[in-house]
Structure 1
Amino acid sequence: MHTETELKLFVALQDYDSLVKTLNNFPHSTYCKSDLLFNHYFDTSTLQLAQWDMGLRIRGSKNHQEQTIKTAGNVGSGLHSRPEFNVTTAEKTPNLLLFPQHIWPNNTDLHALNNTLKGIFETNFSRETWLMKSNSCTIEIALDKGEVIAAQKTKLINELELELITGQTEDLIELALQIANLIPLRLAVESKALAGYLLSGKVPYQFKTDWPNRLNDAIASPTQNLKPLLKIALNHWLELERYLEHLSNNIREASEQTPPIFQLEKNAEYAKFFNQLIHCIGILQSLAFNDKKLKARLLLDSQIAAFIKILPKKVASFHQNSASPKELLSIEPFWRDIGYGKFQLVLLAYLTN
């Protein structure tokens, strides 16, 4: 059994080559290898494993194949920590009997469960790997590019994963900040597996946030509730990003025969939630300035300070350039401002400390 602690980040496709060059020249980092990874995820028709917060896959590369199951763990604001169990296999379908007995709920009939497994989706991608060593930590850096495939649909994968081998969680965030000084990044809360389940259509998208319910109570005394409130707000920010991407995909998938009223409604909804995203960032800035050290760190970083300063102009420009419905589909031009992702990472560092 191995428990991964990872920080997942999104990178734009156009920044991929620049990121490879950056990591090749990064202090204390050593290039390790390049792999092509083919992953088939399995579950029952009722998604029993997903209901238990488990993820089951067979992963193959050039010289190795293994079955893996991940069990319930902690996922929050881009940090992912889940126990996983790996077993070498030559089979095309997993055998649940090869995993430890104790991971299963009481009275689980593994033979019956085994017989009902079927493929749900695939994730196939190239992976470039580096190892970063310093006096305080060892971190594996993995850069993935490929796609999720489900129900004859695809979704691109462009992710940077930082896995803690030795050291503290704070080391992951500080390394991410060093990389984000040079390449635009943003926190990723959605795993490849979750993306696959959503793409398959077997799991409905859910907009999960308790921001509206808890904001009014906490904001009355922000200095007393600062960390909990910042955590709620940061998670809301990330959830809004996910929802905007979900809406964007819906609009792209709509055929030309889609009634115009549908297009108008979806674009209006997109604009509404984009404005909520901007409002959330503004509130986060105001809340963060209640802590003197956090305020100083944000303002002393020239890239974050510049992002905060020109935020209103960026919003106006974004709306002006999105007059056409087909153009109002992505916040990527917005988040590719270096200060955007660094703002997220500084907040995460504050919450983790």
Structure 2
Amino acid sequence: MNAEIELKLFFQPQDHDLLIKTLNELPNAVPQETLNLSNGYFDTHDLQLRRWDMGLRVRGFNEQLEQTIKTAGSVVGGIHSRPEYNVSIAQKIPDLSLFPAEIWPAAQPIDALSASLECIFETNFQRQTWHIQHQNALVEIALDQGKIVAGSLSEAICELEFELLSGSPAALLSLAIAVAKTVPLRLGKASKAQRGYQLAGKSTAVATTPLDPFELPPSEPNVHSAQKNMADLLERWQLIEQRLCAIQGFGHHPLWSQLIECIELLGSATWQVTPDKSIADLFHVIKNLVKTQVELHNKQQDLTSAEQLAQLWRHPQYGQLQLALVSLALTVQA
């Protein structure tokens, strides 16, 4: 069993070549082999594994097959941590009995569960990887580009993952921030599996209604409460993005006002943790960029909310601010 700790970022397709150039030029970067990966994600018809917060896949690469199951974990900002079990197999259908018995709920008939599995969706992509020694840590950077496929539907994969092989998680953020100075990146909330279930119609559609109002605690703020507010607001930022991307049609939407409010509240919470001028400057830039984007959209009304966000994501400061906040949250926790 491995305790996987990774930082997931999204990029836009037009930045693929610049990303490769940037990663090749990082100090101590050692390119690894490039793999073409085919992945089938399995579950029962009633999504029993999903209800247990488990993800099961069979991956094919270099004429080899491997089954992997990820059990319940945690996500803080963009840092993902989930227990993971890998087993080499000879067939494309997973065999659950090959995983450790202790990962399953008590009295669960594994043979019957295994027999009821079906492939829900596939993810097929090319993965380029680099190993980098950085700040006494070993980090693997993986660049994935390809597609999620569910029946006749497909969705693009453009992801950059920083996985900690050894050392401190802070090294992930340090490297990511270095890359984000050159290439526009942003925090990735949804995993390939989450997106695949959504595409296959096996999970609830993303809502497009405004979120409930965010209320700051009535007590006098301190560093720890401010840090919790930061984490909650960073999560809220990503939820607002998800909902804006799901909106069909044109016209202004109240979620844009909530995005501006969220960034302003984050700025206040962050100032209670640190008076770092560089972060304050990023807040000022991003808040103005969002407000300008909304003002232009209100005049032209010829862009969807997803297209508006894509324009915002072209500004490197957008992802730089998100990463600076995750890094600060990790520092405060330590």
Tell me if TM exceeds 0.5. yes
- Note the 1:257-276 alignment, pairs <5 A: 263=249, 267-268=250-251, 271-276=253-258
Deviations 1:15-44 (A, max 9, x none): 111001110111111111111000000000
Contact 1:121–1:148 under 8 Å retained in 2: yes
Matched, 1:298 2:279: yes
In the alignment, the residues of structure 2 paired with residue 208 and residue 78 of structure 1 have an alpha-carbon distance, to the nearest angstrom, of 22
* 1:339 pairs with one of 303, 306, 317: 317
* Secondary structure, counterpart of 1:85 in structure 2: strand
How far 1:308 sits from its partner (Å)? 4.5
Q: TM-score, normalising length from structure 2?
A: 0.91
Amino acid paired to 1:280: C
Contact 1:245 1:330 in 2 (8 A): no
Structure 1 position 206, deviation (Å)? 5.0
Q: Which amino acid letter does the alignment assign opposite residue 81 of structure 2? A: S
| Correspondence 1:282 to 2:232 | no
Match of 2:291 in 1: 312
- Would the alpha carbon gap of residues 318 and 176 (structure 1) be closer, same or farther in structure 2, given more than 3 Å must change? farther
CA distance in 2, matches of 1:59, 1:137: 27
In 1, Cα distance between equivalents of 2:134 and 2:84: 26
Verify the 8 A CA contact 2:30 2:131 in the aligned structure 1.
yes
CA–CA separation in structure 2 for the residues paired with 1:330 and 1:309: 14
- The one-letter code of the counterpart of 2:266 is L
Question: Alignment partner of 1:352: what SS?
Answer: helix
The equivalent residue for 2:199 is 199
Displacement after TM superposition at 1:202 (Å) = 1.4
The answer for the alignment partner of 1:242 in structure 2 is 242
Aligned residue in 1 for 2:220: 221
Deviation of 1:276 (Å): 1.7
Seq. identity, % = 38
1:166, distance to aligned residue in structure 2 (A): 1.0
Q: Where does structure 1 lack aligned partners over 5 or more consecutive residues?
A: 252-262
Q: Please give the per-residue CA displacement for 1:256-295, whole angstroms capped at 9, x wherever unaligned.
A: xxxxxxx4xxx45x622223212211221233223343x3
- Distance in 2, matches of 1:347 and 1:185, equals 14
User: Deviation digits for residues 148-201 of structure 1, max 9, x if unmatched?
Assistant: 111321111000000001111111111111110111110011000000011110
Q: Give distance in 2, aligned partners of 1:169 and 1:328.
A: 31
Q: With structure 1 as the length reference, what TM-score do the two structures score?
A: 0.87
Q: Provide the C-alpha distance between the structure 1 equivalents of 2:94 and 2:7, rounded to a whole number of angstroms.
A: 28
- Whether the 8 Å CA contact 2:206–2:246 is kept in 1: the answer is no
Instruction: Tell me the distance in 2 between the aligned counterparts of 1:131 and 1:325.
Output: 40
